[in-house]
Amino acid sequence: MVSPGSETKIDSSLAIATDALCKVYSGPFGRRKVTALNGLSIQVQQGEIYGLLGPNGAGKTTLLKLLLGIVSPTSGSASLFGKSVSLASARWGVGFLPENHRFPPFLTAMQTLVVYGRLAGLEKMTIHEKAPSLLDQVGLRQWSDARLKEFSKGMMQRLGIAQALMNNPALLFLDEPTDGVDPIGRRQIRDLLVSLKDTGMTIFLNSHLLSEVELVCTRVGILHRGKLVKTGSVDDLTRASGRYQIQIAENQKSELTELFPDLHFANRSDETWIQFEAADASELNLQIDRLRNSGIQILSIVPQVQTLESRFMEIIGDIDDSPGGIPRFEKRTEDVESTDKHSGS
Amino acid sequence: MKQFSATILLTFRELWAMRITQGIFVVTTIAWLLLTFALNLDVIEGSIAALRIFGFEATPTEAIRDAVTGEPLRDAETGNVLREALSLDQFVLGMNQMVFGASYLFGTLLGLFATMPLVNGFVEQGRIDLMLSKPVSRAKLLTGHIAGVWAIVAMLVTYLVVAIWLVISFKTRLWLPHYLRSIAIIVIMFGVMYSIVLAIGVWMRSTGLGLVTAYGCIFFSGILAAKDQIVPQLTDFTAAIFVGLYHIVPNYIEVISIVAQLGSNESVNSWYPLVSSVVFGATVYGISYVIFLRKDY
């Protein structure tokens, strides 16, 4: 079900749970406050691939940082597998690929996995067993002894994913994982995510690439101005909202225009498709009966499914255009310091 | 422990990867090689008969003068001015004071300069967030970083001081191990000054400002060291401020005299400059921890 806004209470069986989470960034001397998250409650089940969408400055990266203990909440609570995110132990079994990560350029790919694997609490032997296969998995096996300063952005991104997978995490956070990766690499990463999902891993994905989220995620949340404005499965979000297109015979176009001046042709090249909205099945049938009774031949009826991108634009547009909404490209008065500066999202 | 050692390892690797650290090793090596080959001593019965630096004869002592006329006495056969023999102990102590005083300045100032980029790297966006996302406490991360920096500076300073001490000891055949105590003083004072760089680094992510502040404190400590001469010239109010600052700011310059006294195996007149500096350093490290534990990155 698509449901707006908040989900409720924290449950220890959930991979991620937040309750009324708020984050307000303050400038020097407490002036210039920026609300990055505003009473956010979200729940992610174990084994889900959850995609978080939102325009720049929506608070996506801030949420991710809060969940990983990188920033602390102003109010509210958050937990990973039932453990408060303020505890370092909550991050056992968690992998993370930050946006714009910067691995030390003097390390080799293998040394990077060793250092970050050790920081994740792994034994040396485990690291040396696991690292080669992970580098292989992300296509960097032959670069294992090369210094990172020789790596391209895409290679760094793939190394980042390998690093995030070192501790075989039960929960994986990915912030723009395909950023800077070429189409082939992007496809590989997408396939990797799907294969990881099959292992039962929970994945929390922040991405601007809506098509990518649509292909990979089982559930999606849309964040806007620090609030979860919509959440649901990809199917729920992209399901037809009562829009249909009906194809009629080519030779009946003029007849249709005369009989039904209220109907509109769909924006398609062959102009044999008409488009209309029906609140439910009975209204749809009424429309069909109207056409059939007038001798119009119906060749096909297609319910209109939205892409995630068009749905996303619609939701964000509706909010910004609503009374009290903020026209896009205009700065909020409290946004003296850009949220991007803090959240990077 | 695994995570702690990983932080130290990362700090070590980073410092080693930086050319400046290798540069300090090279400069140190050149310094003791020069000392090895350039300094030649002829020691006869515990006194230095001849001292040559880069092959040039040096005249280490005062001429012997006629008690009445004050004219320098000359050898009847060669006509050379007669000089008092320089005691070996005297020479070694003088040499040590000079060399190890220089080591103190070299070790702490270059140590600060060399390690400054480490704080930058440590709190760099994209790197610190990755480290903080690991199941390791912030306190442990910061402690690992500090331990790594201290350890590598201790290695640099030990290499410098021990190498020079060995050269001087071999040349003079006089082994004075008490001088090696200066290693601890140099490392401690580096640690005190590094606390400033660290605190400003974790707070403002500006290690340049941290370094300038640390060097500023060193410069200011030179002025504060002249407390006995300056305070009588001040009004009561400004004198109180001056004395207050003297007790707060690390007494970097005055600690040089402790190093010199340790080197000459004298008892140290006052440990206060070192103690007050350590208190300052401990306080600033404490502040760094508080900032690091609370800060949003």
- In tens, the pLDDT along A247-306 reads 888 788 778 778 777 777 777 667 788 887 787 888 888 888 888 888 888 888 888 777
* Whole-number pLDDT of residue B288: 96
pLDDT interval class at B84 (50, 70, 90)? low
* Whole-number pLDDT of residue A333: 37
Q: Could you identify the residue written with the tokens 């080959």?
A: B37
Give the whole-angstrom CA distance, residue B2 versus residue A335.
Answer: 42
The three-class DSSP label of residue A79 is: strand
List, in sequence order, every residue forming a beta bridge with A37; answer none if it has no partner. A23
Mean pLDDT for the stretch of residues A106-127: 92
Output the 3-class SS for chain B.
CHHHHHHHHHHHHHHHHCHHHHHHHHHHHHHHHHHHHHEEEEEECCEEEEEEECCEEECCCCECECCCCCCECECCCCCCECECCEEHHHHHHHHHHHHHHHHHHHHHHHHHHHHHHHHHHHCCCCCHHHHHCCCCCHHHHHHHHHHHHHHHHHHHHHHHHHHHHHHHHHHHCCCCHHHHHHHHHHHHHHHHHHHHHHHHHHHHCCHHHHHHHHHHHHHHHHHHCCHHHHHHHCCHHHHHHHHHHHHHCCCHHHHHHHHHHHHCCCCCCCCHHHHHHHHHHHHHHHHHHHHHHHCCC
Q: Around Cβ A269, how many Cβ atoms within 10 Å?
A: 6
Domains of chain A: 16-93+169-237 (3.40.50.300), 241-303 (3.30.70)
Question: Which residues 123-152 of chain B have a CB within 8 Å of chain A?
Answer: 124-137
Helices (H), A42-102: 60-67
pLDDT interval class at A43 (50, 70, 90)? very high
Tell me which of A256 and A44 has the higher pLDDT: A44
Of the candidates B14, B17, B135, which has its C-beta nearest A89's C-beta? B135
Of the candidates B128, B129, B137, which has its C-beta nearest A88's C-beta? B137
Nearest CA in chain B to A94: B134
Q: Which tens digits make up the pLDDT trace of A170-191?
A: 999 999 888 878 888 888 888 8
User: In this complex, do A119 and B136 lie within 8 Å of one another by their Cβ atoms?
Assistant: yes
* Whole-number pLDDT of residue B250: 94
* Whole-number pLDDT of residue A340: 40
Say if residue A2's pLDDT is above 50.
Answer: no
ipTM of the complex: 0.76
Q: Which tens digits make up the pLDDT trace of B1-45?
A: 778 888 888 888 888 787 777 888 888 888 878 878 877 766 666
pLDDT interval class at B103 (50, 70, 90)? confident
Of the candidates A88, A104, A163, which has its C-beta nearest B121's C-beta? A104
Question: Which residues 67-86 of chain A have a CB within 8 Å of chain B?
Answer: 68-72
User: In this complex, do B296 and A92 lie within 8 Å of one another by their Cβ atoms?
Assistant: no
* Whole-number pLDDT of residue B110: 83
Residues above pLDDT 90, as percent of chain A: 39
User: At A118, which amino acid appears?
Assistant: R
Say if residue B164's pLDDT is above 60.
Answer: yes
* Whole-number pLDDT of residue B49: 61
Q: Which tens digits make up the pLDDT trace of B184-199?
A: 999 999 999 999 999 9
Q: Could you identify the residue written with the tokens 């009847």?
A: B76
Mean pLDDT for the stretch of residues A55-71: 92
* Whole-number pLDDT of residue A144: 92
Residues above pLDDT 70, as percent of chain A: 86
Tell me which of A49-58, A113-122, A304-313 is least confident: A304-313
User: In this complex, do A68 and B129 lie within 8 Å of one another by their Cβ atoms?
Assistant: yes
Say if residue A243's pLDDT is above 60.
Answer: yes
Closest to A149 in 3D by CA, of A116, A99, A102, A100: A102
Give the whole-angstrom CA distance, residue A317 versus residue B283.
Answer: 53
Say if residue A336's pLDDT is above 60.
Answer: no
* Whole-number pLDDT of residue A5: 43
* Whole-number pLDDT of residue B50: 64
A115 and chain B in contact, CB less than 8 A: yes
List, in sequence order, every residue forming a beta bridge with B281; answer none if it has no partner. none
* Whole-number pLDDT of residue A6: 43
Give the whole-angstrom CA distance, residue A246 versus residue A301.
Answer: 5
The three-class DSSP label of residue A39 is: strand
**Half-sphere exposure of A123 toward its Cβ, with a 13 Å CA cutoff?**
3
* Whole-number pLDDT of residue B43: 65
In Å, how far is A124's CA from the nearest CA of chain B? 9
Mean pLDDT for the stretch of residues B112-118: 85
Say if residue B91's pLDDT is above 90.
Answer: no
The tokens describing A160, both together, are 């980042």
* Whole-number pLDDT of residue B48: 63
In Å, how far is B241's CA from the nearest CA of chain A? 27
Residue B6 with chain A: CB contacts under 8 Å = 115-116, 118-119
Helix or strand (DSSP H, E) at A233: strand A227-233
In this complex, how many residue pairs, one in chain A and one in chain B, have their CB atoms less than 8 Å apart? 92
Mean pLDDT for the stretch of residues B124-130: 90
Helix or strand (DSSP H, E) at A255: helix A253-259
For the purposes of burial, counting CB atoms within 10 Å of the CB of B119, is it exposed (0-12), middle (13-18) or buried (19 or more)? buried
Closest to A306 in 3D by CA, of A294, A314, A296: A314
DSSP class of residue A199? Answer: T
Give the whole-angstrom CA distance, residue B121 versus residue B145.
Answer: 11
In Å, how far is A118's CA from the nearest CA of chain B? 6
Nearest CA in chain B to A167: B134
* Whole-number pLDDT of residue A341: 40
Of the candidates A90, A101, A115, which has its C-beta nearest B6's C-beta? A115
In Å, how far is A86's CA from the nearest CA of chain B? 10
* Whole-number pLDDT of residue B45: 62
